[in-house]
């Protein structure tokens, strides 16, 4: 049997415990800049310390993964994101993610998976796809699963949350060989189920998005995607911008892994 096949299966199993996953995303320092963070979490060590023993994996850019290895190592799985872009760029070039690291960096860091963004529909779709294929090919060699942040964005896309658009991106991600797909919530269980179907068996994880009004509102969204047969969530702002990041992370785990109703799970959150 192929060594790579076994490696990929083992690594995926570390992220998708019981076939479901809650991933903490903390790459916003580049994507949005430090302004996204409450002051006490600008240094990633503190926020990571609060959640590493709660979530199944953390998704970090290579530099922060290295700087915080003493915190996540042995506590949770690591997904190294190898593309990014700053919001300091002029508007017209913000729909391109650039290489921020390599698969070899991810392997060297001890990652369980590698992640890269493709803005489907962007004028720079072609160059992002080229890097995606490069990442995918190297990752296959090492038996490393590839998560694609399949984000439809571009001049032709009026509403990036529209179900037809989101399922198109999810399908394109599946067809480009993604092992895990991270994409936007489409507003209801019925529509998100169509996204999951379009992904044709590739696990779909919902991207958290901007902070919801209340933790309960966000937990209802998490429940909705789980009811749509999604396999979990990748959440940043709804955890690190909340008043109780650990409590919110624990509540999300309760909905995703333990099947709790949002109204029950919210009890984990201190107000």
Q: How far, in Å, CA of 242 to CA of 81, rounded? A: 23
25 binds ligand FBP (CB under 6 A): yes
By beta-carbon distance, which residue lies closest to ligand FBP?
A: 208
Give the total of residues touching ligand FBP (CB under 6 A): 13
Closer Cβ to ligand FBP, 95 or 143, answer by number: 95
31 binds ligand FBP (CB under 6 A): yes
Closer Cβ to ligand FBP, 6 or 42, answer by number: 42
The question of whether 46 is a catalytic residue gets the answer no
Helix orientation angle between 3-15 and 125-142, rounded to the nearest 10 degrees: 110
- With vertex at residue 63, the alpha carbon angle to CA 62 and CA 67, rounded to the nearest 5 degrees, is 115
- 3-state class (DSSP) for residue 234: strand
H-helix segments, 78-204: 103-108, 125-142, 163-175, 189-198
Closer Cβ to ligand FBP, 7 or 209, answer by number: 209
- 3-state class (DSSP) for residue 60: strand
209 binds ligand FBP (CB under 6 A): yes
- 3-state class (DSSP) for residue 172: helix
Catalytic residue among 8, 81, 182, 223: 182
Listed in sequence order, the residues at least 6 apart from 144 whose beta carbon sits closer than 8 Å to its beta carbon are 7, 8, 11, 103, 106, 107, 111, 112, 113, 114
85 binds ligand FBP (CB under 6 A): no
Closer Cβ to ligand FBP, 152 or 262, answer by number: 152
Q: How far, in Å, CA of 56 to CA of 166, rounded? A: 25
29 binds ligand FBP (CB under 6 A): no
187 binds ligand FBP (CB under 6 A): no
Closer Cβ to ligand FBP, 143 or 153, answer by number: 153
179 binds ligand FBP (CB under 6 A): no
The residue from 103, 235, 248, 260 that contacts ligand FBP (CB under 6 A) is 235
149 binds ligand FBP (CB under 6 A): yes
Q: Which of 149, 153, 203, 143 is nearest to 21 (CA)?
A: 203
Which positions lie near ligand FBP, rule CB under 6 A? 25, 27-28, 31, 149, 207-209, 234-238
Q: Which residues are catalytic?
A: 182
């Amino acid at each position: 049997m192929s060594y790579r096949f076994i490696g990929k299966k083992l690594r995926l199993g570390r992220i998708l415990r019981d076939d479901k996953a809650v991933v903490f995303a903390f790459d916003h320092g580049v994507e949005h800049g430090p302004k996204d963070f409450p002051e006490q979490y600008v240094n990633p060590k503190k926020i990571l310390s609060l959640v590493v023993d709660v979530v199944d994996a953390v998704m970090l850019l290579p530099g922060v993964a290295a700087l915080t290895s003493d915190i996540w190592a042995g506590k949770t799985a690591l997904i190294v994101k190898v593309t990014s872009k700053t919001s300091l760029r002029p508007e017209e070039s913000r729909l391109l993610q650039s290489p921020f690291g390599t698969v070899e960096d991810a392997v060297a860091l001890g990652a369980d998976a590698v992640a890269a963004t493709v803005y489907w529909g962007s004028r720079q779709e072609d160059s992002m796809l080229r890097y995606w294929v490069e990442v995918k090919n190297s990752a296959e060699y090492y038996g490393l699963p590839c998560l694609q942040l399949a984000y439809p964005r571009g001049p032709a896309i009026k509403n990036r949350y529209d179900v037809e658009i989101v399922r198109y991106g999810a399908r394109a991600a599946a067809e480009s060989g993604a092992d895990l797909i991270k994409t936007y919530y489409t507003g209801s269980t019925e529509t998100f189920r169509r996204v999951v179907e379009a992904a044709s068996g590739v696990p779909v994880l919902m991207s958290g998005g901007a902070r919801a009004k209340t933790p309960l509102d966000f937990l209802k969204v998490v429940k909705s995607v789980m009811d749509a047969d999604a396999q979990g969530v990748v959440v940043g702002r709804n955890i690190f911008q909340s008043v109780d990041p650990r409590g919110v992370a624990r509540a999300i785990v309760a909905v995703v892994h333990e099947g709790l109703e949002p109204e029950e799970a919210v009890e984990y959150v201190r107000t």
